[in-house]
Structure 1
Amino acid sequence: MPFPQNRTIVETDKSCKMNIFLRQNWYRVLAIILLLWALSDNPYGYYQLLRWAVMVIGAYSAYSAYNAGKNSWAWVFGAITVLFNPIIPFYLQKDTWQLIDVLAAIVFSIFLFREYERKN
């Protein structure tokens, strides 16, 4: 039986690294999905869930960024945490929230891509 070419091994290795990375960062991927899903028409309860989820994920991301010495990211995630906080909520127009949702999803995405590139 012939051995696989090096290209196949490298592609498999990259795929495994990506799977491991996504398993370690599943909560940030969840935040991106929830934020983008918020652009569709949803019941009020969804937006309450969104606020809680993004607040918790943002707070944990700020904490982990701070512990990793990434102070700029810690401040960015801290701002997201405050903005999405459901305890003392900000009341904004739907269009404004949609823009904020997209921007927050972009922030989480950029962080994920940079982290993946840094680790690989």
Structure 2
Amino acid sequence: MTILVKVTLALLFFLCLLNMPYGYYELVRFIAFVGFGFLAYKANEEDKSEQVFIYIALALLFQPYYKIALGRELWNIVDVIIGTGLLAYILFKNHNLLQ
């Protein structure tokens, strides 16, 4: 289930690079907030405290209640870094997928 959440979030972040309506970005922020909250919960269940911290920080970055104004260019960079990081983690954690 966590792989599906990570892939979905990564795809949503990469779609943010396109010229989408503002409502899409608001929806992504809400989905990212919930998704990273879920990933933090799952990491906590597995006793992975550093991942819990990272996912909570990402949930706070994307939280939909108080907009963090980074500007479109910087948000695009953040989206690419986080999307790539999520996919890379899946591939390297499950390195048997590459064989």
Aligned residues with identical type, % of pairs: 24
Structure 2 counterpart of 1:91, which letter?
A: A
What is the number of residues matched between the two proteins? 97
- SS at 1:25 equivalent: helix
1:117 to 2:91 alignment: no
Which structure has the greater CA radius of gyration? 1
Indicate the structure whose relative CO is greater, using CA pairs within 8 Å and at least 6 residues apart.
Answer: 2
Match of 1:81 in 2: 59
CA deviations over 1:55-103 (Å, ceiling 9, x no partner): 1111111111121111111111111100000012211210010011111
1:56 to 2:34 alignment: yes
| Deviation of the 1:25 alpha carbon | 2.4
1:65 to 2:43 alignment: yes
Q: Which 5+ residue runs of structure 2 have no aligned equivalent?
A: none
Alpha-carbon distance between aligned partners in 1 of 2:92 and 2:72, rounded to the nearest angstrom? 30
TM-score (norm 2): 0.86
| Deviation of the 1:114 alpha carbon | 3.6
Structure 2 counterpart of 1:32, which letter?
A: A
Q: Which 5+ residue runs of structure 1 have no aligned equivalent?
A: 1-22
TM-score (norm 1): 0.72
Runs of 4 or more above 4 Å deviation: none
| Deviation of the 1:40 alpha carbon | 0.8
- Aligned-CA RMSD value: 1.9
